[in-house]
Chain A
């Protein structure tokens, strides 16, 4: 439990507060909306950093998990069970206080699943799906793993786009707020903007804290051993399949959690959340952060997501992320946020200056 491990967390927490205070003082508190969304998008990125950076396994389908989470939770909390209230399972769910009765926009009675059980159900389903997908797929390597996860992502996209139950091209809308605790709800209303900003980034902070512990545990060392050399890791008695699978499921659940909460925050979700470009975007953020660098991925991811949602890249939005991927992997595969990069660039400049003299 060295002090140095918790210092970045404290700095990060201070940064979260500072950003809120500065935007508040500058009268730009509307920025907090995009920052909150960036916080939910940061969850899949953190999970993917574990999978790609530490376990060395690529996934180009994590937007699929993000979207399934959001869609499931959105569907459960909006699908009206009133017509089915005679069925025993609906009555059982009502008796377990899993359902919430009310009125829909037209004044007819509605009966939907509460946000908490919907969220938990979505995460459990994702854990199961990730386990079933990951178990066979993680035996593949390199190009095969990349294509298989890309295929998974495409299937999810096609399914949500093609199914009328999931709203087809329109997606799901009118998703209710998520009442976490009495008086504390995830909702896009301007009145609760500040509290929602702290909910999102507080959650990211807790996640990073927990994952930090994981990385420095026996499991984390096993993962890094797998990344380094699978054969050597196996020889040392590490069950690499199981370690990879655990990371895959964990990263999928984190992605889904981001999807669930963002759906409640936005009040809806559309098929574009499941698109391949979203998955590629996540990979780009992990890459620019430096693969095995939680803080790098988190900071660069938040920055890029924020700029992207502010519309800073205009119609070049996806092109920017494609360009980032290529440039980072060409020139600095270890990411942008590393000390020696600045030193090397500086060194190169200095050398060039000296050249005419020598």
Chain B
């Protein structure tokens, strides 16, 4: 294998990894607010891509992406209000089963609305063959769009949770819900907001990545498993660590093609998940959030 080919796989791995990171961050936002791993997180990414592809036939691309993100944020809010909000101290088993049911429901609805076909948005800049070449390595501008968007999302979240009043209120609720409520914070509103936020970033990621990876009604489940792997790698609630974990997983998965048939790409990622769970249950970067997840669960 040439070094250029190796770099080419590396770029592909980083692109996928960035999306896994976004799913992992979505898991973390909802988990910190509710103690729930939302198994339907991957479906938000799928819905974002699907809505944008449909809307793009009627409005310019940027508007389509914006509308798609807003619609999926609405879906996130609905999920929380209809299915999560009014449950009184649900067991973990119950929440797992409900969110799995929701994810099946969403993908089946997507199947009815959009069919089995594979869809994608047009490339944001240029087309499928446009490439920025550095020596022998060719990179599609869309890869830069993906990495740029993911970078902006992570930066935004760091700013949001660190500097804004709303973000701090959300963190307060995550740390101690009762105390936050006593301070006059609308704890229920914060939980809804966490779903809206997770849905929004998932949908945005789904839009920018769709020209490269395509989107299909059932792409969510796979993303959820990969995202969870990243969450276990990097920990829940730390966006920067999730980004690191995502890139590691994406690159390992991409390079696995060099030694294994491409059909087994997903097997590699899941085998990594199982191996981590078995040998390093506290995660590779072993932090408090993952440890807490274990206690809660």
Mark A residues whose CB is within 8 Å of B.
52, 56, 58, 60, 136-137, 139-148, 150-152, 154-155, 158-159, 161-162, 276-277, 280, 283-284, 287, 315-316, 318-319, 321-326, 329-330, 333
Contact = CB atoms under 8 A, between A and B. Distances in A.
> Which of B94, B96, B109, B112 counts the most chain A CB atoms within 10 A?
B96
B12 interface: no
A147 B276 CA distance: 12
Given A56-B93, A58-B93, A60-B100, A318 B108 contact: yes
Interface stretch (B126-134, B141-149, B258-266): B258-266
A124 to B, nearest CB: 23
- Would you call the interface of chain A mostly helix, strand, loop, or mixed? helix
B98 A330 contact: yes
Given A151-B270, A318-B108, A326-B83, A143 B96 contact: yes
A358 B134 CA distance: 82
Interface centre among A56, A141, A159, A316 (most CB of B within 10 A): A141
Contacts of A323: 101, 105
21 contacts: A140-B277, A142-B92, A142-B296, A143-B92, A143-B96, A143-B293, A145-B297, A146-B39, A147-B37, A148-B277, A151-B270, A154-B221, A154-B225, A154-B266, A155-B270, A162-B261, A162-B267, A276-B221, A329-B94, A330-B87, A333-B94
B105 A319 contact: yes
Contacts of B293: 143-144
A141 B273 contact: no
B294 interface: yes
Contacts of A147: 37, 225, 228, 273, 277
Q: From DSSP, what is the main secondary structure of chain B's interface residues?
A: helix
Interface in B272-297: 273-274, 277-278, 281, 293-294, 296-297
A171 to B, nearest CB: 15
A325 B274 contact: no
B155 interface: no
A148 B273 CA distance: 7
A103 to B, nearest CB: 34
Given A58-B93, A141-B297, A154 B270 contact: yes
Contacts of A276: 221
